[in-house]
Amino acid sequence: MKEKILSKRPVTFTRAILLVAVLVGIYYFLPQLKAFSHTFAVLEHSSWLWLFVGLVVAALSFLAAAFTQYAAGNYTGKLSDIVLLQFAGSFVNHFLPFNIGGVNLTTRYYNKHGKSHAQAMVMSTIPVVFGIITTVLMVAIISPITLVDYFNQVHSIHLSGWLLVLTIIALIILVIVGFIYRGKVRIFILEALEGLKSIHGLKQLTSLLIGSLAITLTSTVILFASMKAIHTTAPLVAIFALYVTSSLISNIAPTPGGIGAIEAVLVIGLVAMNLSLSQAAAITITYRFLTFWLPILPGGLALHRVNKYKIAGA
């Protein structure tokens, strides 16, 4: 009994810290809500052309994800089935963190095609592993270009105190979450190593790299289109760096689809690009609508089809 009480203390302590961090964030954030008063006015004058461009590229990003998963599964099954699974998985991921729903569907699909559970799990997680690897590599390449300029911009606009506090709180929460889920991180690293060992040949490796890069590039273009839609822009390198940062955050945020964490990162990053808070909020809303909320309908239809025809098994 005593051991159980002791085992609960770290969890209770971390929850208390998270609660305090959230309350402090709310205290500093609420007075700034008036700055969002012009956000909907900005959205009302959005460019329909650029919204359409963002929509088309968002659809292409799902195809890129399906191609990557098809290569990760060593071309098992049909590409059309994998496309359906990507849409269906995106729907389920709206309700579960860490892409658990999509991974589970894909794992069941490979189980149905004769793969063991261990093999199926590895095949399902390889795209996530490669996504992180390619993202980190690209960050390493572009960081010397963007880091100095970024900090110069941050210094030049003299970010307000509440924004700095929000950034610090976000970092504290990430550290705490990393500590809480350190076991899952260890398992993920082990699965990543197994996934890399399971790659067969240069063709599969090349396909995985191309697919991962395509996902990153299409997502960057969607963010760019979201900026153009409200008649503003920024250097492509800066947009790319912002997307990469939000992508890394989404992979570790303990909320479905990184809700909350991604929005905070995008708003902070866009304000650092000399955009107003209203513009930053409008771009974030547009980007998340195209990449997260709009796919709910086709995702739900895809999940219905997957279940009806037992594409991922019974």
Q: Which long-range contacts (CB under 8 A, 24 or more apart) does 265-273 make?
A: 265/170, 266/242, 268/163, 268/166, 268/167, 268/170, 269/242, 269/245, 270/234, 270/242, 271/157, 271/159, 271/163, 272/150, 272/153, 272/154, 272/157, 272/159, 273/153, 273/234, 273/238, 273/242
Identity of residue 56: V
Cβ neighbours of residue 108 under 8 Å, at least 6 residues apart? 120, 312, 313
The predicted pLDDT at position 290 comes to 95
What is the Cα gyration radius of the chain? 21
Q: What's the pLDDT score for residue 227? A: 96
pLDDT confidence of residue 301: 94
Which residues lie below 8 Å from residue 119, measured CB to CB, with a gap of 6+?
110, 198
CB neighbour list of residue 32: distance below 8 Å, 6 or more residues apart: 160, 162, 277
Question: Distance between CA 228 and CA 47 in Å, rounded?
Answer: 8
Whole-number pLDDT of residue 2? 45
Domain boundaries, the chain: 12-308
Say how far apart CA 45 and CA 258 lie, in whole Å: 28
Do the beta carbons of residue 312 and residue 120 sit within 8 Å?
Answer: no
pLDDT at 63: 96
Write out the chain's pLDDT in tens, 314 residues: 444 444 444 445 555 555 555 555 555 455 555 555 667 777 888 899 999 999 999 999 999 999 999 999 989 999 999 999 999 999 998 888 778 889 899 999 999 999 888 888 888 888 887 887 777 777 666 655 555 555 555 444 444 455 555 555 555 655 666 666 566 656 656 665 565 666 777 888 889 989 998 999 999 999 999 999 999 988 888 888 888 888 877 777 777 888 888 888 888 888 888 888 889 989 999 999 999 999 999 999 999 999 999 998 76
Q: What is the pLDDT of residue 3?
A: 45
Q: What is residue 165's predicted lDDT score, i.e. its pLDDT? A: 56
| 288, 222 Cβ separation under 8 angstroms | no
CA-to-CA distance for 243 and 246, rounded, in angstroms? Answer: 5
DSSP letter at 47 equals -
